[in-house]
Structure 1
């Protein structure tokens, strides 16, 4: 069981598998309702039904078996009478899909037997492993081109900082796009409410003069446009691009969690190896494990960088979509102006 992850591309990871996690329409349970999910794998050609607790079982197995791999945390479980809000359930579903996607596309985890059982078996049985990846991998010979332990340690420290900054930057970008989307939704609501107000003002009155009638006709035309526009869903951000950014945030976040664990563990291993007799079996095993952990960290950094780069490459499409959405909103305001000044003029926002 040996793996050597060379430079990989996002396209190669993406081609490994396509995972879908969808909510089963009916929730189970009389009082404390729980959700079930349809889990599909294109690679295996399977669709199975899973509960959240079964995701937890898979996570526990992978975490124990691969302590030196970036297995990101699961979204939290919330026990709620009635089963939770639709928004919470959809967000957790999306997070579970991203989690399983990262696992199923990982160059090492994708080949795990327990993952295959989870994706393929109707009633999976997942048992905690007796040994971790280092033990199962056995003795590994170093290749001529392999980095030395000191070089891997230096790379580990450097990658931590670079990917920490990437994680923070991606998080800021995502929050910005979320806020922009919220503002556009709020503006659409404002336009709809403006239409309702204009519609109320456009009701004819017995005492109307010709000038009042013209004004009411103009307000009615503007109201119809505003209400119609307010009911139209504007595509503010590209959903696929936002999902890609969240996937990258999860991947880089998992790497940072791994770094935190390894930093504590590597210090302990170095101290234990230094305290042991240099040539004793325990010291050699500790040094070998220490080197194996560093090698895994270097490989996991490569994967995290791939996801970070893929998210940044989505920025042009996100900005294009935002520009289009803002242009459409600006056109609506221009059309409302035209409707009030020239009720019979052709509008542009709906073209």
Structure 2
């Protein structure tokens, strides 16, 4: 069976490999689920792994199969599986358990272990294959009515967790009712986060470099949010116009933007970083003394949020469904760039890194039978 893989820590090594076909026997205790892969989303994480910035092969292999954003259809289940049946559409969580207390209670997304195990990212093969098997614990059903958005299930789980973490952490204030939010970055995470915050009733401004007019502005307006091109209005000027945000979700992939966002947060506000920056950039012009003073005196909060567990997938999928009712047809506009098959890895990487019109790149691997 074919798969798309890289040689970890080796730059531009994406290639097609042959791997063994999966079997339900791969998972003990009758909990296996055999899935036919329909679509796999790709993003900056995959590009950075291909650049050799991070990622490790599973023990005993020299390669790592890519793909952590999967949408598929169940073909077979083990005798202990009750919540899925053949013909169901599904997605899968990404992180797998380690040895810590958090892993044993199903919170693999916040493991305290030095090593983490993520399918398609680190020490576990991903989903960019024709079929795969996983434990039923990590397989999440996608409603048939959302099959056109199923490949967004993993990204929206990341957004669900980021928002949840902010609200959970802000219980420290006893009363927190955010009204104004900034989302930095207008990729899939930024746009889906804007959608989910609008569903919660916040006024939302999405800040990104792409000039207006364009698709990003169109999607934001479709959600009832505001799109701000930072080429046309600086964040500091926006703050003067609309005020300091109570909540900032950072989703640019830029450490410079992540740190600079700290300057604009309102008193008692929360800033959530979702960016993973694999480079070696440093910031030399950051007003650290002023930010430190304002953050201490203003009781401000910074939270890092990575990955999502099963509950975050379910919450994200529920918000996708609600958005289809509240903002019909808007979310599908995110799915800009389909690629048929993974036989040409260079095409996938090129779309990810060089195609400025590509908002969401995803690979069509098979059609549902």
TM-score range, shorter chain: under 0.3
Q: Report the structure number with the largest CA radius of gyration.
A: 1
Whichever structure has more strand as a proportion of its residues is 2
Q: TM-score, normalised by structure 2?
A: 0.21
Q: TM-score, normalised by structure 1?
A: 0.22
Whichever structure has more helix as a proportion of its residues is 1
